[in-house]
Every structure is written in structure tokens, then in C-alpha cells.
Structure 1
Amino acid sequence: MTEAFARRLVQNRLIAWLIFFVVSTIAGIGLSRVSFDDDLRKAFRPRDDKEAKLIDRFPLSDNTFLILVQTREGGDFFEPETVGHLREFDFSLRETEGVERIGTIFDARSQTETEEGYFPPLMPAFDAKPEAFSKARDEALKHPAVRSVLLSPNAKSLLFLVDPLPDRTQARQLGPIVRDIQMHGETLAENAGLKVSVTGMPVLRTYVVNQSKKEQIIFSLGGLVIGTVIGWLVSRRWGTLAITFPVPALASAWSFGALGLYGYAINPMNNMISVLVMIISLTDSVHLIYGIRRHKAAGKSNPDAAAAGLAEVGPACLLTSITTAIAFASLGLSSNNMVAEFGIGCASGTLLAFVAVVTFIPLLASTWLGDHILPKNQSRDLANWTGFTRIAGAVASRPVTVSLAGIAATIAAGLLCTQLDSDYRYRENFDRDTVEWQAIATIDRDFGGSQPLHILIDPIPQENAGSPSEILPVLARVEQELRESGHSGEPFSLITILKGLRKDGQPGAFETLLEDAPEGSLAPLYHRESGASLVTAPLPDLGARALAPAIREIDSRLEKIEADFPGFSVSTAGVTAESILTSRSMISEIGISLFFAATFIFIIIGLALRSKSIGFRCLIPNLFPIAITGAALVVAGKPLQYISAITLTICLGVAVDDTIHFLFAYRKNRNKGLDPVSATRESTRTVGAALITSTAILISGFSLLQVSELPTVRLFSWLGIGTLFAALIADLLVLPALLLLGKKRD
């Protein structure tokens, strides 16, 4: 970016304002089209035929509320008064607005047939004789559709399953249902002396989304206050803050507008783009404002200082934006839509942040605000801190030692990172002591699992033209294989219902069931038009790392069933199976792309600076913070999660940003004729203030997140703090030392 161009941009403010209004107008159109989609299940839906069939035929298969009811010490579900309260709770759930169907113990039929050939309800009426309740208890513990499905083997836990209407998929739609169910649960707990916990995927998603929205407002305001205080303590002038702080918000709004223009819905992953854009734009803004201040201190007018600062720092901002955008754009090649949209959104947001920085900051700095950017007391200006000279001197006196230490630390941390394994648990957004976590743990223990694994059995029309009942042997075989695998809880299917009615194996029993069953009652298990059926078995929430081998083993067993029953397609399907099998690859995809992106970025840097050796030497300082943070995860015994992979992606952008600004300052000083030692010393002094200022503001903002109720947000916080601090050390110590190693060539 030449000084002539910078001067033309500043002197012709109409151009800058025109850019601002055009981009803002286009972004505004995009913002008007922005929609929100917090249904993370879509991230795990592959584009294949079996998944389309599952979604079309069994739309409620992965959106079920789990209501866990537990007895207190010495309590019993099968007491007349308790049964009465449970029945009232059952009625309340059925009448809840937004609920389509529920599955409870009150749906089960006794296996004892009356003289009239009628199977009465398993649960006796409120006014039944005492022995009827004892009999119901004994029968329930043997009932194939109740034991380990709705009632735990020790009869201390009871499950109520609630399916919302098919169109209730977003947190804002599920929230009222959650509140109503919790209210009914509180009434049951108070009246019957039972412990009631509401959990399941819709409850978890609703809590996370609502909590994130609430905390986002609090943290945004708190971060603004803390950032303002830190910024004022460093700059000592409100003019600097007035010029710098609007830019990140503007860039964030533009980036969201771009998502709207692309037709991307805002989801929990690409919502993090705003954080990335604000961080990168703040970092570049601080570097640019310090550049303008240097020229202002030299006695230049506001427009001249703004133009000179832009000419000095603008090229570094441009290279930063291009390299970072290319690195993020590589994620757009991902096979997963959500990751691809995240990468493209980050790339466009990075470029828009550059436009916001180079137009808005010089525009404001050239006005009367430019009179208020220099500290009144120059001795208290961070840019004049003598510590930078001492740091540069210490590095210059031992460049080999510092370089080897940085290289050794990066290699050692990188080796530790090879032990880092990715993992995903759907309850990772909860602390272990929360009601939701404990409820899931209890369901896993008492029922064998809390997340549904679906097996889709689909007749092949060309090979199967027989009776619908021909699917029964396939269902029975699937249940057998699931039990033998030992990876899931008790499977549930049409076979289970027939066993509950003591009609399994009877000729014509299946056809009779289809005729007599109330409309829609078999919909979660059987699709009448296609003849497809589901077998559902609960899987414990052990994490994708532990469950992926189990899913693969089950898949291999299902392949054998297909071979034995050639007229049927048999396969795992649904969010649970797909999230377990694809989440680790998604996380690893982001993590691996970091290192490839880092390598690619520094090739671009070497080409831009016309020095392959400099491009190679700046590789270590930018891998250093990522490797250190990854090693910290290994030492802490934590896997690589979505949030940690995204955090490292964001912080790579910051590390690259600071490195490029330092390298441009170094090249400028070398072109002035300074020797390498003097050039690194001067670069440390001029760039160091911006590095410390931006890092201090960002770390203070990340620190605020430690009070979040979501453990993933707290993880994001300390990873961000650690990575930024490591990046600061790398840029102030390791990078100058490595540059000095090649001083003869440079």
C-alpha cells in the first residue's frame, strides 16, 4: 500500500465514506437475511440415501426429552398414592402444548390376558386392591417393553419419553416445552416426594443456546468496559479509544452481513466468527493507531499522520488479511457443511475486517479526533518504555540460546501434541455437578444409555415383495446382535411390542398389530408406506473416542445380517451414530488444517518479503503458541474438542498478525540501513507497544469468560489466554532471535 494511495484515501474522505456506506449497505441487506439455526444435529447428517429416508420417515428420532423420575430413600413407585401422582404427571405431559407423543409405563399392557381376551393396562387404577400394585411391580420387572426400557432393574428409576411436534427443532421453540415439563416435574416432586430431572438433547441444546445468548450480552458489555479501561491505561487518551474501538464492532456486523448474503444460517459454530473478526480487527487497529501516533509525534498534521501511518502499517495489514483468509478458506473444502461454512465465513470476515481498519481508522484519525491520540506525558507512553530496549538487548546478546530454546520448546510441545486425541460428548457443555449431567449419568447407569442409536431396516422393493411380517426375523436378529455386542442398553422395536403382548411368533400377529394399533402409535418404529422399521438402543455418553469402535463393530455385525437377509438394507443411522463417527474427523480436520495453514501462510510471507529464509524462520514463532497450547491440553488430560480447535484457529490469526507486523517493521528498519541488531531493537520498540496493548486487551476479555456457567466457554477462555501469552513471548523473544541468526544473509 503506497503512501500516494494512502494519502489519496485520507485526503479524499469522500472515497472512504463511500466505501464505508457501500459496504455497510450491502452488509445491511445481508443482515436482513440472517437467520438462526441452533439445531446442531444438521452438522452430523451426511448426504446419503439412508439418512434422507430416516429423516423423512422418522422425523422425531433424535429430538426426545428424557424425564428421569427417581424414588427417595425407601420409596416405591408401586404404591397407590404414588401411582396416582405419576398418572397425573402422565396426563399433564400429554396435554403440554408442542408435544406430539409420549412414551411411559402407563402405555404398557399387562401380559396377563383376561377372560374376555383383553390385555389390561399394566399400571393398576388408583382404587385397585393393594395386591394389584405388588403384582404390577413384579410384572413390570419382567415385562420386555418396560424392564430396562422405562423402569430400571432395581425399580428405583423411571423414564418418561416425550417427543415434541416435528416442527419444534429450534431452541426458541423448545424452550416453552422445557419450562412446562419442568413445572410439571416440580409439581410431581412436591406432591409425591420423588426426584424429577429433565434432560435429553433438546433440553441440553436449549440450555446452551439460552445461556450463551445471556452470557454474550453480559460478556460483550463487560469486555467493552474492561477493554476501554485497559486501552485508556495504556494510551492515556480517549481519542485513541474513540478511533479504535468502533472498528471491531463494525467489522463484526459486516461479517454477519456476509453470512446473510451467502445464505448461511447463524449456528453455534459460525457464531464464533464474530469473535475472530473482532480480535483480528482490534489487533490491526492497535498497530495502525500506534503507527499514526508515531507520525503525529513527529509533528505531522492529522491527515498527513493518518496517511503516513496507513502507508507504513497498511501493507502488513493487507498481507495479514490475505494469508489468514487463504488459510481459513481452505476449511471451505471440508466435507462437512458446518466446517466449510465456518471456514468461508472466517475468510470473508478477515478481508472485511481489513477494509474496516484501513478505511475507518485513518478517516477518524484525520479529523479533530487525531488531536487527542498522543499522551500528554510522553514519558508515560508505552511506546517509549525502555523495557523494550532491554528485551531486545537481551535477545541480541544470546540469539542462538533463545532460538534453540524456542525451537526445542516447539518441537517438544509438538511431540506432546501427537498424543492429543479428539473427542466429542453431547453433554460437554455441562459441569459434572449439574442436574443435567447427573441425570444423564444415572440414565446411562440404570438404562444402559441416554442417546438413541438407530438401526434402519429397509425392505428392498426389487428383492422383497412378500408379507410385511417378513421383516420380523431381521428385527429379531438385529436385537440379538446388539445384545451380544454389549455396547448398548436394551433394544426396542416392534418385536419388543409383540413380546409385551405375548404375540411374538404367532402367525398373523404382526398384521393384527398394524390393524389394531391407534393411528400414529407405531410411527416411531414403523413406516407403513415403505415397510421400513427402526430398532432403537440407548448408548451411554462415553464420548466419540470410546464409542466409535463400538459403532464400527455394530456396523460389521449389521453387514452380516444384510448378507443373511438379502431382501433388506440394514444400517446404523441418525445423529448419535453420525456424530460419533464424524465429530472426531471434523475436529481433527480443523486441528490438522491449522498446521498446514501455518506452513502455507509462511510460504506466502517468504514470497511477500522476497526472503525464503525469513519465511522459514517465522514458522517456529507461530507454531510455538499453538504447540504449547496443544501440549497443555495433553498435560491437563483434556481431548481436542470443537471449542479448543476453534480457539487455536482464532489465535493463529492473531499470532500471524503480530508476526507480520514485526517483520514489516524489521524490513523497514533494514532498508533504512540499520544493522540486524539495531533493526530488531527498533522493531521491538515500535511494534512492542502495539503487541502488548492488543494482547492485554484481548487477555482481559478472555479472562472475563472464566465466570461463565458453560465449561466449554471457560475452556475457550484459558486456551485463548495461554495462546495469546505464548504468541507474545514468541514475537518479542523467539522471532527476533531467529532473525538475528540469519543476519549475514538478511
Structure 2
Amino acid sequence: MLTNPHAESRSQTLPDEHAFAPENSLLGTFARRPALSVAVVVIMTTLAMIGYRDPGLLVGAPAESETSSVGGMSGRGGGNRDAPGRSRGGPERAVRTNGPPPDVTPLMLFGSELMLLIHGDDFFTPTAALAIRQAVEAVEALPQVRSVMWMDRTPPLNLFGLREPALPDHRASQRRFDTAKQMALDNPLIAGQLLSSDGRTMLLSIEVDWFFVRENADCTTVLVQTVEDVLRSHNLDFDVGVTGEMPIRLVMSAASKDNDRKFQYIAYGVILMLAAILFRGPSAVVITAVAPALGVFWTMGCIRFLHFEDNPFNHVVVPILLSLVGFTDGVHMMTQIRIHRSSGMPVRAAVARALDEVGAACFLTSLTTAIGFASLSFAHHQVVREFGWCCVMGVGITFLAIIAAIPLACFTPLGRSVHRGQGSGWIEKNLDHATKIILVVLRRRKLFAALAILASIGTAVITSRLEPDERILNAIPERSHEAKWLRHIDKAFGGLETAFIRVTWNDSVDTSSPEVVQVSDSVERMLRDEPLLGSPLGIAKLIDALPGDAQPSAKAALLDLLPPPLRRVFLLPEEQTTKVIFRLQDLGIANYGPVFERILVQL
């Protein structure tokens, strides 16, 4: 029988792939059946690309955030349980209704999504009056603007309902303008609401017709530019800015997109740098870095299907977190693959053996990490809950990327030299040092366990003493125009957001009863004693502005003389309720917590 001696020698030097075949484990299937890895990579990449491009192709649009009838930012804060009626949310007690409400549209005095602010030295001059009126006309001429509410259109507060402009005609004398300025500062509907208490900032509340909004600039820079052009034509050096819920949400969204790219690039850079330090071979570095980077890419695309892309935590924390979690699993897997390849195993057998040996351990660490982040789903704050669920989803997706992408990359020409540099890398050189540390810990395991327990107790005590806080300024760029005008409206008007205290009564009390006005007056006085609450306004202050020197409760009969659109902002007879509305600065709930507690005690 004739034999080939060269074939014989090759059979003796090259190991048989079947001789190293590992046990058939579930995770090892990704190495034994590369088609499965290909399918996972293709499906997940397609889903991520759809998420980046247009999530609406697979899921519906998110439900609109509900906004209180008095307005304010209806963000994701989930509300404050101690707030009497803060418009950011929170459950409200059901109110009884006695019959259908009248067909009256409440005045747009609070809660506009868009506000123009004009800051200047003096509005009560002939030139300024003419310029401001022309600016309002120019803004209302824009197709995206349905109406503008400003101080010249406030309802009259007199016995006969005679309307008198708050800003005189530009042909009036300066003495008439000085008188009008004082009258405006004495008008509760203007002072602190549409004109700052110092008379230097004017607020224009804009109602937007969304059908004609084609781009974000239509609601921001176009409006500002329109007003600036008119003022400039009259040689007035006034500052003009835009604020409100809608502009702030736009800048939040833009900042989120910028942070999305920025922190993804940071995550990719961290992965590549660590891989280069740990592994000397370029193939091992690239494969180890690509897998967790792919997990981050998949996760940031898939969270858009849940409409969590505007959560600031998801753009800042999640990419870095997932890159490190995925990189840890990738290092364990790549280390085992390199060891088996150096011992002579074929690529597929080495990858399958590595998955069998460390795949379950990597899965266990990912599972425990996901369980830890799932605990955030019990948080009261919606932003924290969303962050927790994104981390849970991200950890699972990243683990899937590791067990699918690394085997697939090893089967490419890039994986043929994955074991090069084995023995000279940072891990191999320092493995003995790490082993010594582990042995020291094992010999003194009771001591280290006690230290760990004490550290856990200490951190738990510190955590329990932390006060939750939230500020809009923390979610938008500090130097943006929106941040500038948000700080300005806090200073000039006492805040952008509004809150209210609702007063209810039973059938034995008439709506026009002096008792209702007296209670509203007491609530308004109580709120005025709190320096952090801006411009409290209710029916008592409106009645007090009507002619007469008596106390508001003695003039309760004049309540019916208030214009119905104005009256329904504060009083709902069919629900037997009245509201006292006030403004909140962007100081954070930690500052307002004690204020709300004092209010609740006094109520």
C-alpha cells in the first residue's frame, strides 16, 4: 500500500479539528453555526438603522404629554407629590361637576407653549409704542402664528367693561404715557404676568398654528428676527428672545442629538484604547473593540422605538456604561480564544470552546447587571425609570453583540492572526500580580466581606440623605439663548412654570359667596409671603382691582362683572372650584420642597 509521507507528517503536526470539539452548549451554537451570528447581526443592525432613520416605520408616535390648564412645562418629571398643583404633573383629585361647562374659551393668560420676551429701558414712549404695535402686527401676519396675547389686549377691569389700551397711541403726550405705565403696573393682569414689575420686560404669549410650521426656526428665530427687524427700523436697541415649553424642548432635543454622537464617539474611543492596551495583536484589538461598539450602536438605535431618545441620561451615561460592560465580556472571551488558538486549536473550535468556558459567566454578569438597573423602574421620576429600562435593554443587546459579533469576526481573515502577541500582552504579563491580589483577598475573606458590608451601609446612609432635584437649566446648554431667557424670565416674572392651588366647596356654598372670595384672598396673601413664588393671582386680587375701597370679600357681588373668558381662568362654577395661580422659578424641587410643605400646613 502506497502512502504519502508528507501527508502523514502533516497529520501528525496539525491537530484534528474534531479532537478539540467542545461540548454542545447553547452559546457555543453561535460559533458552530455562523449563519445564526450573521442573522443576529443583520437583524439588529437593520432595526438600529430604522430607529436612527424613522422609528415610526415600526412603532406609533408617542402620546402627547398632558398639560395643565394653567400651563407650565409638562415635562417628564412625573410631578412632585408635595406640590399643591404644580403643572408638571402628579395625580390630581377628581372634581365633581354640576352640569356642562359654558361655551366660553378661557383667556390665554398662562401656559402658552411659546413666549416672546422684549427687554428695554422704557416701553412707554411714543416711539416704543408704535414699534411694539407694528412688531405685534408683523408677528401675527406670519402664517404659523394664530394669535398674540400681550398687555394691550388684557380684559378691562372696570364696572362697565370699557376697554382701554394699556399702551397709549403713539400720538399721545409723554404725561399720558407715564400715567399709563403706572396703571399697567397696578393692573394684576399685566404686572408680573405680561409686564415685569420694573416695567422693563414685556411678554408676548404666542398661539401657534402647527399646520404652517415647516421647521423649528419657524417657532424660534423667525419670530425673533421679525420683531428685531421692526424695532431696528425705529432705532430701538431692545433685546428680543423666545422662551416657553416648545423652544426649550427643541433645544433639549438638539442637545440630545449632539450628545448622542459625542458620547458614542467617546465610548468607541475608550473601547479602542483599552483594547490596544490589553492586547498587542492588531486583530485582537479590532475584534474586541468592534463588538461592544456594535452593541452601543444597536442600543442607541433601538431605544428610539420606545421614544426614550430625549432622555439626557441615555445620551450621556448609557453609551459609556454599555461600552465598558460589553468590553469586559469581550476581553474575557478574546483572552480564551487567544489561549486556545495558541495551543493549536482551529478557529471555529477555539471560538466554540471559549464560548462554552466563559459564555455562561458573561451571561451571568450581564443578567445581574440588568437586574440591578431594573430596580430603577421603581423610581418615582420618569427620567430615572426610562434610564433603568434603557440600561436593561442595552445590557442584553450588548451581550448579544458580543456573542454574535466576536465569533463572526474571528471567522474572517482578520481572525486568522488573532492569537499573535499572546503571552506578551498586558493581561498575560500581569496575570500573576492579579492572582496574588485574589489570593490575599481569599485568605482574609471575612475581613474584606465585613469591609464590603460596612461600605454598603455607609453608601446607603449617604444615599438616603440625598435630596432629589431637577432643573430645566441642567438639561439645556448653559450658554444657549434659551438658557439666557429662562434665567431672565425667572428674574423678571418670577418663573416660567406655573402652579396652582385649587379650592373646592360643597353645594351649601354659593359660587359668588363672600366666603369663596375670602378664602381665595387668604391663599393669595399666604403665597405672597413666600419669596420664591412669583405673582400669585386669583379672583380676590381681580376683584380688589375693581373700583371701590372695600375688602375683596365685601365686593364679591362684583365677581359677575369680570369678563367670562377671564373669570373661567380662575373660577369654574360647575365644578365648584377656584384656582390661585403662581409662578415657579427654575430653582429645583429641592428648594421648593420646604415651601410646598409650609403651604400644605397652612392650607
Classify the TM-score, shorter chain: 0.7 to 0.9
| Inter-CA distance 291–203: structure 2 relative to 1 (3 Å threshold) | same
| Inter-CA distance 450–244: structure 2 relative to 1 (3 Å threshold) | same
CA distance in 2, matches of 1:217, 1:225: 12
CA distance in 2, matches of 1:117, 1:349: 62
Using the TM superposition, give the Cα deviation of residue 126 of structure 1 relative to its aligned residue in structure 2, in angstroms. 0.9
| Inter-CA distance 351–49: structure 2 relative to 1 (3 Å threshold) | same
| Inter-CA distance 468–100: structure 2 relative to 1 (3 Å threshold) | farther
Which residue number corresponds to residue 582 of structure 1?
A: none
Which residue number corresponds to residue 220 of structure 1?
A: 264
Which deviates more, 522-531 or 536-545?
A: 522-531
Using the TM superposition, give the Cα deviation of residue 268 of structure 1 relative to its aligned residue in structure 2, in angstroms. 1.0
| Inter-CA distance 412–322: structure 2 relative to 1 (3 Å threshold) | closer
CA distance in 1, matches of 2:332, 2:138: 61
CA distance in 2, matches of 1:355, 1:443: 48
Which residue number corresponds to residue 205 of structure 2?
A: 162
**Offset from partner CA, 1:537-583 (integer Å, 9 cap, x none):** 1123332112012112223333xxxxxxxxxxxxxxxxxxxxxxxxx
Which residue number corresponds to residue 352 of structure 2?
A: 307
Using the TM superposition, give the Cα deviation of residue 230 of structure 1 relative to its aligned residue in structure 2, in angstroms. 5.6
Which residue number corresponds to residue 494 of structure 2?
A: 448
Using the TM superposition, give the Cα deviation of residue 320 of structure 1 relative to its aligned residue in structure 2, in angstroms. 0.8
User: Which protein is richer in helix relative to its size?
Assistant: 1
3-state SS of 1:144 partner: coil
Contact persistence 2:109–2:149 (CA under 8 A): no
CA distance in 1, matches of 2:35, 2:329: 23
Using the TM superposition, give the Cα deviation of residue 355 of structure 1 relative to its aligned residue in structure 2, in angstroms. 2.6
Using the TM superposition, give the Cα deviation of residue 265 of structure 1 relative to its aligned residue in structure 2, in angstroms. 5.4
Gaps of 5+ in 2: 1-21, 66-73, 79-88, 98-104
Contact persistence 2:534–2:584 (CA under 8 A): yes
Counterparts in 2 of 1:367-382, with a 5 A limit?
367-375=412-420, 377=421, 381-382=425-426
Contact persistence 2:30–2:403 (CA under 8 A): no
Which residue number corresponds to residue 82 of structure 2?
A: none
CA distance in 2, matches of 1:241, 1:441: 48
Which residue number corresponds to residue 203 of structure 1?
A: 247
Which residue number corresponds to residue 143 of structure 1?
A: 187
3-state SS of 2:473 partner: coil
Counterparts in 2 of 1:261-410, with a 5 A limit?
266-268=309-311, 271-272=314-315, 275=319, 276-334=321-379, 339-375=384-420, 377=421, 381-385=425-429, 387-390=430-433, 393=436
Which residue number corresponds to residue 471 of structure 2?
A: 425
Using the TM superposition, give the Cα deviation of residue 136 of structure 1 relative to its aligned residue in structure 2, in angstroms. 1.4
Which residue number corresponds to residue 17 of structure 2?
A: none
Contact persistence 2:520–2:580 (CA under 8 A): yes
Which residue number corresponds to residue 168 of structure 2?
A: 124
In structure 2, what residue type is equivalent to 1:127? R
3-state SS of 2:166 partner: coil
3-state SS of 1:313 partner: helix
Match 2:131 to one of 52, 77, 85: 85
The higher relative CO (CA closer than 8 Å, separation ≥ 6) is in 2
Which residue number corresponds to residue 549 of structure 1?
A: 594
In structure 2, what residue type is equivalent to 1:453? A
Which deviates more, 438-447 or 538-547?
A: 438-447
In structure 2, what residue type is equivalent to 1:182? V
Which residue number corresponds to residue 32 of structure 2?
A: 11
| Inter-CA distance 241–165: structure 2 relative to 1 (3 Å threshold) | farther
CA distance in 2, matches of 1:13, 1:59: 63
Using the TM superposition, give the Cα deviation of residue 294 of structure 1 relative to its aligned residue in structure 2, in angstroms. 2.2
Two-structure CA RMSD over aligned residues (Å): 4.5
Identity of counterpart residues, as a percentage? 23
CA distance in 1, matches of 2:165, 2:532: 32
Using the TM superposition, give the Cα deviation of residue 152 of structure 1 relative to its aligned residue in structure 2, in angstroms. 3.5
Aligned length: 539
In structure 2, what residue type is equivalent to 1:347? V
In structure 1, what residue type is equivalent to 2:125? E
3-state SS of 1:491 partner: strand
Which deviates more, 133-142 or 463-472?
A: 463-472
Q: Is structure 2 residue 224 aligned with structure 1 residue 182? A: yes
In structure 2, what residue type is equivalent to 1:91? E
Contact persistence 1:7–1:304 (CA under 8 A): no
| Inter-CA distance 221–42: structure 2 relative to 1 (3 Å threshold) | closer
Match 2:536 to one of 484, 488, 491: 491
The structure having more radius of gyration, on CA atoms, is 2
Contact persistence 2:144–2:209 (CA under 8 A): no
**Offset from partner CA, 1:363-395 (integer Å, 9 cap, x none):** 3313433113234x557522333x554565578
3-state SS of 1:427 partner: helix
| Inter-CA distance 372–97: structure 2 relative to 1 (3 Å threshold) | farther
Gaps of 5+ in 1: 559-746
**Offset from partner CA, 1:385-442 (integer Å, 9 cap, x none):** 3x55456557867986995997687777776656543322222235766654454444
CA distance in 2, matches of 1:448, 1:331: 34
Which deviates more, 421-430 or 395-404?
A: 395-404
3-state SS of 2:122 partner: coil
Using the TM superposition, give the Cα deviation of residue 17 of structure 1 relative to its aligned residue in structure 2, in angstroms. 3.8
Using the TM superposition, give the Cα deviation of residue 213 of structure 1 relative to its aligned residue in structure 2, in angstroms. 0.9
Provide TM-score, normalisation by structure 1.
0.61
Provide TM-score, normalisation by structure 2.
0.73
